[in-house]
Amino acid sequence: MTFVTISDEFSFIKKISPKILKQTSLIKGIGDDAALIRGNSEVEEIVCMDTMVEGVHFNEKTMSPFDIGYKALAVNVSDIAAMGGLPSFYLVSIAIPKAWNERELLQIYEGMNEIANIFNMDLIGGDTVSSKAALVITVTVLGYIEKGKHLLRSNAVAGDVLFVTGTLGDSAAGLELLLKNGRHYSFTNEQQFLVSRHQKPFPRVNEGRILAKRNRVALNDVSDGIASEAAEIAEASQVAIVIEKHLLPQSDELKKFPKEKQISWMLNGGEDFELIGAVSKEEWEILKSEFEKEKRSITKIGYVESGKGEVYLKEQDTLTPLLKAGYNHFK
């Protein structure tokens, strides 16, 4: 999420958040990856909405029409994953400049189709309007989770293990390669891995489902970088989070870049769409073996202490406060 017009996105969201809620079926409104609504006797409903803008989140150099569609849906499915849920339906609203032709537009929907087919989702509505300049695509995803099993940012407790799925920083590295060479360049296999991590992030729904079986998990998806995501968990849970630098999981492909880029991208690159969270030490042991059984990747990257929303980076026994540094795309 980028926000250049107003000084502080966080304070703006606070200003527009309703002071009084009217619908008694609401479980969680603004303030997590998605909203939660009471459903039938067995499930809770999940709903989220994300927008991608041409020239801000993608451009002709970085993403094909197919990639744009794929990613616009994937980032929303990632929000459902971060609640522990399963996605079911999506709606798409697209504002289209004259420069785009019908073939390209259909490719955008084909890209969404790839994700929808994997997760058994149906396209059920939306809007198509004309745009003066840039293409703007907004997706709403509906999903569900077993009653009471949702995973909130506010669930972390002092003493917890901090973990992340997969590897970090790949998407930012891929973006650098794309901005330098353009998407039509003949990338090596190693480079292509990073580029794909930027263009076609795979939402961690299956990982979220393993996590939702545990008793208490705080969870966020990595859209803005783990420094920022950890801060959201720390603030919502009113704890302090310590990220241990030497534990951060990275791909072999990322290791080819200069050291300072690696660490910056792992902490602040964003758009990896992995899951970051916290569980008790006892649950962590169970989680580790379940992820191993399912051949999925999860890594301990730190711990939770008592506090008031702080995040620290630990390096050779030195703690440095980590400032939220969001992802600035093409700025």
The torsion angles phi and psi of 135, rounded to 5 degrees, stand at -75, 130
Contact between 319 and a second copy (CB under 8 A)?
no
Instruction: Name the CA radius of gyration of the chain, rounded.
Output: 19
Q: Give the nearer residue to a second copy in terms of CB position, either 102 or 317.
A: 102
Compute the least distance from the CB of residue 64 to a second copy, in Å. 17
Distance from C-alpha of 222 to C-alpha of 153, rounded to nearest angstrom: 12
Tokens of 24: 């008694």
Q: What angle do CA 16, 10, 199 make, to 5 degrees?
A: 110
Contact between 157 and a second copy (CB under 8 A)?
no
Contact between 53 and a second copy (CB under 8 A)?
yes
Distance from C-alpha of 79 to C-alpha of 203, rounded to nearest angstrom: 8
Q: Give the nearer residue to a second copy in terms of CB position, either 126 or 309.
A: 126
Contact between 106 and a second copy (CB under 8 A)?
yes
Greatest pairwise CA separation for the chain in angstroms: 57
> Site residues for a second copy, window 114-153 (CB under 8 A)?
116, 120-134, 136, 138, 140, 142
Q: Give the nearer residue to a second copy in terms of CB position, either 97 or 159.
A: 97
CB distance 322 to 312 below 8 Å: yes
Q: Which of 14, 17, 185, 315 binds a second copy (CB under 8 A)?
A: 17
Compute the least distance from the CB of residue 283 to a second copy, in Å. 28
Selected range binding a second copy among 92-100, 188-196, 253-261, 316-324, rule: CB under 8 A: 92-100
Q: How far is CA 119 from the centre of its chain?
A: 17
* Collapsed DSSP state (helix, strand, coil) of residue 131: coil
* Collapsed DSSP state (helix, strand, coil) of residue 54: strand
Compute the least distance from the CB of residue 21 to a second copy, in Å. 5
Q: Which of 14, 60, 101, 185 binds a second copy (CB under 8 A)?
A: 101
> Site residues for a second copy, window 59-88 (CB under 8 A)?
88
Tokens of 293: 């059984």
Compute the least distance from the CB of residue 24 to a second copy, in Å. 10
As beta bridge partners, residue 145 has: 44
Q: Which of 97, 159, 255, 292 binds a second copy (CB under 8 A)?
A: 97
Selected range binding a second copy among 99-107, 154-162, 172-180, 184-192, rule: CB under 8 A: 99-107
Contact between 226 and a second copy (CB under 8 A)?
no
CB distance 36 to 84 below 8 Å: no
> Site residues for a second copy, window 173-202 (CB under 8 A)?
none
The stretches of the chain forming alpha helices (DSSP H) are 9-16, 65-81, 102-118, 170-181, 189-199, 205-212, 226-237, 259-264, 281-293
CB distance 147 to 212 below 8 Å: no
Q: Give the nearer residue to a second copy in terms of CB position, either 177 or 233.
A: 233
Tokens of 1: 């999420």
Q: State how beta strands 298-306 and 218-221 pair.
A: unpaired
Contact between 39 and a second copy (CB under 8 A)?
yes
Total of residues contacting a second copy (CB under 8 A): 75
Q: Give the nearer residue to a second copy in terms of CB position, either 225 or 302.
A: 225
Compute the least distance from the CB of residue 135 to a second copy, in Å. 10
Contact between 49 and a second copy (CB under 8 A)?
yes
Contact between 154 and a second copy (CB under 8 A)?
no
Distance from C-alpha of 217 to C-alpha of 198, rounded to nearest angstrom: 27
Compute the least distance from the CB of residue 25 to a second copy, in Å. 7
